[in-house]
Amino acid sequence: VHKHLLGAFATLSIPSQLKTDNGPAYTSAATKAFLDSWGNVHITSIPHSPTGQSLIERSHQS
């Protein structure tokens, strides 16, 4: 996750906020420390609620 976030930061700039789902890759202590080191505010969506990420869920639809 950190490798991909670094790539996104390098390409798109460092965001002040990052909104993710509650997946273990995003809620780990290592990811929290990584985002804190970059000054990001990490916002998670409501657990078990795909409407919290409706635009992303729609784009992932097959």
**Residue whose structure tokens are 């909104």:** 19
User: What is the reported pLDDT for 52?
Assistant: 66
Residue 43: domain span = 2-59
User: What is the reported pLDDT for 42?
Assistant: 93
Residue 18's nearest CA partner among 35, 2, 3 is 35
Number of domains in the chain: 1
What pLDDT, in 10s, does the model give residues 9-56? 999 999 999 988 888 999 999 999 999 999 999 998 887 766 666 766
User: What is the reported pLDDT for 8?
Assistant: 93
Strand segments (E) across 1-62: 17-20, 41-44
What CATH number should be reported for the domain holding residue 8?
3.30.420.10
**Residue whose structure tokens are 């809620």:** 27
Q: Which tokens sit at 26? A: 């995003």
